[in-house]
């Protein structure tokens, strides 16, 4: 959506510049290049929106967890009733239907032209790609041929096809039709200037053939009736001065503005704002009756979409094969003693987009530095594949290796630590939806029209009760309290279980809040769970 917006705004600005400064100049080749450059730049510059300007994407690893999918990086989501039709789907359907219709119409015209050329049924002079035809018995055939030869030599048909394709994908913008008309006019002026040695005789020839009719707008025809008057005017017009060529430099600020706009829209803050706007459009429901007895359901205010969880980095040989290798090669630095009550260790490390390992850290374990270094030595010998985001692209992330030793200091094969995270009753999705729908923004924050962030920490006890809720951080006074109240209001969670026993967890809720034009948006970024050790 943003891409099409920037493309068409740039096209509009460039066309305004063209009509204001260049249309009446006799620099026909320069005008042709200006039109093609304007359209090409309008398409290319916004491509920067799809380039990730950040150096790396990091994914936080919550330790320990093995058995359940992570809750980290979760965004508040609201489920929509299946009976509702979303506006975004309708807009997308209309857009792509229009594109398909325009492409089909263009293909039909091309097929018609090729068919007529093959049957030699065209009864007027034309140029189509490298093919030139002069109507049999045409007056001043030499002059007509020279005109059409210029079209063929300079590839004017390629220009037309290019703009037809651009218009197909921007069919909703009438500016493209004006671009196409102006481009064809410049083509004719270029050919007229090259072929008109005798301007008076040439003008008479144009008028004499003016009643001919085009078979297709894709052809470059000698007698283009709709452009006749303007062509004759430009034929006899005094040449523009060389100094006027400097006017073409005025396109630079327009293209620079388009480039800056692309960079602005590529910032994380702008992307978030745009995402919310697009979500509002996509998730606006057109309400329908499910049946004759069911009342029409009111539309709910949508939240942000749930972000697809990326994959985790994994050993190329597979986790099971890697752990077998690890267990067989691990050498205990010292004998275990009675003081080693829980000989468990979790090591995290950075896995780059190329699978390179670095930044090893001890996430859990009290065995000592020597055990950590031995585990790092073995992990570094292995090959890892990077994590993949929702689109299948490699991203930098934190990998993890967890293991436990037996009384003899050997790694226990196939060991899985039973660590069941606490969960809100009804599921995390219900809890997110509850926070999203019931959060009340402070009036002062709404009036401020700015972005804020807050973190709320609370303890989930062994019974699942919410305890010791505190505000860790808030960038705007009062934005954290409504979320804390909702956490209490929702009630107890299902408690966490570790090694068969119910245990307490510390939960940290991080959220982003935005305010603009009298409304607010809340996005839950993280729900981080950490087991509280005794």
Judge whether residue 206 has pLDDT over 80. Answer: no
Q: What is the pLDDT of residues 22-50, one digit of tens each?
A: 888 888 899 899 999 888 888 887 776 55
Q: How confident is the model at residue 278 (pLDDT cuts 50, 70, 90)?
A: low
Lowest mean pLDDT among 69-78, 88-97, 221-230: 69-78
Go through the chain and tell me how many residues it has.
534
Q: Which of 412-416, 491-495, 510-514 bottoms out in mean pLDDT, i.e. has the lowest?
A: 412-416
Strand residue runs (E) in 322-461: 344-351, 357-364, 384-385, 387-388, 394-395, 397-404, 419-420, 423-424, 451-460
Res 446: pLDDT: 83
In this structure, of 130-134, 158-162, 233-237, 494-498, the range with the lowest mean pLDDT score is 233-237
Give the pLDDT score at 485: 94
Average pLDDT, the chain: 78
pLDDT of residue 122: 59
Two tokens at 22?
């260049």
Tell me what the mean pLDDT of segment 209-230 comes to: 57
Query: Which of 40-49, 167-176, 391-400, 468-477 has the weakest average pLDDT?
Result: 40-49
pLDDT over threshold 80, residue 363: yes
The pLDDT tens digits of the residues spanning 372-383 come to 999 999 999 999
pLDDT on residue 297: 36
Sign of the dihedral defined by the CA atoms of residues 216, 218, 223, 227, in that order: positive
Q: Considering the domain 314-417, what is its CATH architecture?
A: 2-Layer Sandwich (3.30)
- What pLDDT band is residue 474 in, cutting at 50, 70 and 90? very high
Q: CA-to-CA distance for 81 and 167, rounded, in angstroms?
A: 37
- Phi and psi of 50, rounded to 5°? -95, 5
- Hey, what are 207's tokens? 């008028």
Give the predicted TM-score (pTM) of the model. Answer: 0.44
pLDDT reading at 74 higher than 50: no
More reliable by pLDDT, 69 or 414: 414
Return d(Cα 124, Cα 122) in angstroms, integer.
6
Better pLDDT: 246 or 97:
97
Question: H-type helices in 300-409, by residue range?
Answer: 319-329, 369-380
Bigger pLDDT: 366 or 377? 377
259: left (phi over 0), alpha (psi -120 to 50) or beta: alpha
Closest CA to 219 of 170, 177, 164, 176: 164
What mean pLDDT comes out for the span 59-72?
37
**Range with top average pLDDT, 65-69, 131-135, 470-474:** 470-474
**Half-sphere exposure (CA, 13 Å, Cβ side) for 89?**
7
Q: Which residues contact 422 (CB under 8 A, 6 or more apart)?
A: 460, 464, 493, 494, 495, 496, 505, 507, 529
Confidence of residue 6 (pLDDT cuts 50, 70, 90): confident
Q: Could you give the CA distance from residue 61 to residue 243 in angstroms, rounded to a whole number?
A: 64
d(CA 336, CA 364): 17
* 315 confidence band (pLDDT: 50, 70, 90): very high
Average pLDDT, integer, range 362-381? 92
Average pLDDT estimate for 492-517? 86
**Residues 419, 503: Cα–Cα separation, whole Å:** 10
Please say whether the beta carbons of 480 and 496 come within 8 A.
no
* Across 208-229, average pLDDT: 57
Number of H-type helices and E-type strands within the chain? 15, 21
Q: Is the pLDDT of residue 361 over 90?
A: yes
478: left (phi over 0), alpha (psi -120 to 50) or beta: left
For residue 283, pLDDT beyond 50: no
User: Cα(123)–Cα(135) distance, rounded to whole angstroms?
Assistant: 6
Report the alpha-carbon distance of residue 145 to residue 126 in Å, rounded: 9
Mean pLDDT, to the nearest integer, of 382-407?
90
The gap from C-alpha 270 to its chain's centroid, in whole angstroms, comes to 12
Rounded mean pLDDT of 76-87?
Answer: 42
CB half-sphere exposure, 1, CA atoms < 13 A: 15
CA 292 to CA 441: how far, in whole Å?
Answer: 38
Residue 365 pLDDT > 50: yes
Residue 223 has pLDDT above 60, yes or no: no
Is the pLDDT score of 222 beyond 90?
no
Residue 67's pLDDT is what? 35
Locate the domains of the chain by residue range.
2-66+74-256, 314-417, 423-531
pLDDT for residue 200 is more than 50: yes
- In a 3-state reduction of DSSP, which class is residue 169? helix
**394, pLDDT greater than 80:** yes
Residue 135 DSSP SS3: coil
Q: Which of the two residues, 63 and 483, has the higher pLDDT score? A: 483
The CA R_g of the chain, rounded to the nearest whole Å, is 34
Q: Spelled out in words, what is the top-level CATH class assigned to the domain 423-531?
A: alpha beta
Q: What is the dihedral of CA 322, 327, 328, 329, to 10 degrees?
A: 90
Mean pLDDT of 302-324: 72
Answer whether residue 455 shows pLDDT above 90: yes
How far is it, in rounded angstroms, from Cα 184 to Cα 230? 12
Measure CA 302 to chain center.
Answer: 20
Give CA 225 to chain center in angstroms: 45
pLDDT band (50, 70, 90) for residue 212: low
Residue 213: pLDDT band by 50, 70, 90 thresholds? very low
**Residue 226: predicted pLDDT:** 58
In this structure, is the dihedral angle defined by the CA atoms of residues 365, 371, 373 and 378, taken in order, positive or negative? negative
Query: CA of 452: how far to CAs of 200, 214, 304, 514, 527, in Å?
Result: 72, 62, 16, 6, 17
More confident residue, 366 or 137: 366
Domain 314-417 matches domain 423-531 at the CATH topology level: yes
Predicted confidence (pLDDT) per residue in 339-352, tens digit = 888 899 999 999 99
């Amino acid at each position: 959506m943003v891409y099409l917006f920037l493309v068409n705004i740039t096209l509009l600005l460039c066309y305004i510049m063209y009509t204001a400064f260049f249309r009446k100049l006799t620099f026909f080749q320069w005008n042709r290049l200006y039109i093609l450059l304007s359209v090409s730049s309008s398409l290319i510059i916004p491509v920067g929106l799809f380039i990730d300007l950040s150096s790396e994407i990091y994914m936080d690893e919550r330790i320990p967890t093995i058995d359940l999918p992570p809750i980290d990086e979760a965004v508040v989501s609201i489920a929509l009733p299946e009976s509702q039709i979303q506006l975004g789907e309708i807009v997308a359907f209309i857009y792509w239907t229009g594109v398909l219709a325009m492409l089909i119409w263009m293909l039909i015209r091309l097929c018609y032209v090729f068919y007529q050329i093959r049957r030699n049924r065209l009864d007027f002079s034309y140029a189509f790609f490298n093919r030139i035809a002069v109507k049999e018995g045409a007056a001043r055939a030499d002059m007509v041929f020279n005109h059409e030869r210029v079209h063929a030599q300079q590839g004017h048909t390629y220009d037309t096809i290019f703009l037809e394709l651009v218009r197909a994908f921007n069919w909703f913008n009438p500016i493209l039709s004006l671009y196409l008309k102006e481009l064809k006019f410049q083509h004719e002026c270029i050919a007229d200037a090259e072929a008109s040695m005798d301007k008076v005789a040439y003008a008479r020839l144009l008028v004499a053939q003016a009643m001919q009719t085009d078979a297709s707008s894709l052809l470059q025809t000698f007698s283009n009736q709709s452009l006749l008057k303007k062509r004759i005017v430009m034929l006899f017009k005094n040449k523009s001065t060389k100094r006027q060529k400097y006017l073409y430099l005025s396109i630079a600020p327009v293209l620079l503005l388009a480039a800056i706009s692309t960079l602005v829209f590529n910032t994380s803050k702008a992307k978030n704002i745009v995402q919310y706007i697009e979500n509002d459009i996509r998730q606006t429901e057109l309400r329908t009756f499910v049946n004759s007895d069911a009342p029409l359901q009111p539309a709910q205010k949508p939240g942000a979409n749930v972000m697809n969880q990326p994959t985790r980095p994994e050993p190329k040989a597979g986790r099971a094969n890697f752990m077998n290798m690890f267990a067989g090669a691990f050498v205990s630095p010292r004998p275990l003693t009675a003081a080693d009550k829980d000989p468990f260790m979790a090591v995290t490390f950075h896995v780059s987009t190329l699978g390179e390992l670095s930044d090893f850290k001890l996430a859990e374990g009290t065995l000592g530095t020597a055990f950590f270094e031995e585990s790092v030595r073995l992990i570094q010998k292995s090959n890892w594949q990077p994590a993949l985001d929702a689109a299948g692209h490699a991203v930098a992330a934190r990998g993890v290796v967890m293991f436990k030793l037996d009384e003899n200091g050997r790694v226990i094969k196939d060991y899985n630590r039973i660590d069941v995270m606490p969960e809100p009753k009804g599921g995390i999705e219900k809890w997110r939806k509850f926070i999203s729908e019931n959060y009340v923004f402070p009036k002062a924050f709404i009036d401020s029209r700015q972005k804020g962030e807050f973190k709320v920490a609370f303890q989930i006890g062994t019974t699942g009760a919410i305890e010791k809720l505190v505000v860790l951080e808030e960038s705007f006074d009062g934005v954290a309290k409504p979320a804390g109240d909702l956490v209490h209001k929702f009630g107890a969670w299902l408690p966490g279980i570790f090694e068969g026993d119910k245990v307490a967890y510390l939960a940290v809720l991080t959220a982003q809040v935005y305010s603009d034009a009298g409304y607010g948006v809340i996005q839950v970024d993280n729900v981080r769970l950490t087991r509280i050790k005794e």
